[in-house]
Amino acid sequence: MTTLEFSYSLNKLSSTLKPFALKLTRDMDDANDLLQDTMVKAFTNRDKFTEGTNLKAWLYTIMKNTFITNYQRMVRRGTFVDTTDNLHYINSSDSQIENGAYGNFAMDDITLAIENLDDVYKTPFMMHFRGFKYHEIADKLQIPIGTVKNRIHIARKLLKDELVVYRHKN
């Protein structure tokens, strides 16, 4: 296959590769970049393509491998990409310093909200929080399992509502 024929075949197949790139990346710009990287790699390695085999499958394999390699590289670097309009690159490191004050205030609010729950909701909720299974809580409290699930659900809802109030006060 001549370079011109190979180039024509690549161009023709690029439209079928785009949905696959979008499925892998879940972002249109990243999908376009992946498609471009795939086409460049395919063209530069055209001598490795065996004529008579499935070019489309070969391109899919190149795309998948390129995506995996890029993903592994990003994970190794520990770089997270902010997808907001600013497109900042945030390097994570082990030397981060966190302000624990906000977490302490939040934990105090959560503890207070749990303490304010009626015992009928607090007891099954705390048992579930500590790792007890629904049937274990039902056996221990001698109530039906449906009641246990309902009380835990109500406790979560009450806590959520209470914490929303705390957040708006502060």
The DSSP bridge partners found for residue 81 are 89
More confident residue, 107 or 48: 48
Q: Which residue has the tokens 């909720």?
A: 125
Where are the chain's structural domains? Answer: 3-77, 117-166
Share of the chain residues as helix, strand and coil, in percent rounded to the nearest 5 = 75, 5, 20
pLDDT of residue 59: 93
For domain 3-77, give the CATH number. 1.10.1740.10
The pLDDT of residue 62 is above 90: yes
Q: Give per-residue pLDDT as tens, 66-112.
A: 999 888 888 777 655 566 665 555 555 555 556 666 666 677 778 88
CATH class of 117-166: mainly alpha
pLDDT at 15 over 70: yes
Average predicted confidence (pLDDT) for the chain: 83
Q: Give the distance from CA 84 to its chain's centroid.
A: 16
The helix (run of H) or strand (run of E) holding residue 89 is strand 89-91
Can you say whether the dihedral through the CA atoms of 38, 42, 45, 49 is positive or negative? positive
Confidence of residue 138 (pLDDT cuts 50, 70, 90): very high
Per-residue confidence at 18, pLDDT binned at 50, 70, 90?
A: very high
Pairing assessment for the beta strands 79-81 and 89-91 based on DSSP bridges = antiparallel
pTM for this model (two decimals): 0.46
CA distance 50 to 42: 12
- pLDDT at residue 84 in the model: 63
What is the arithmetic mean of pLDDT over 145-155?
A: 93
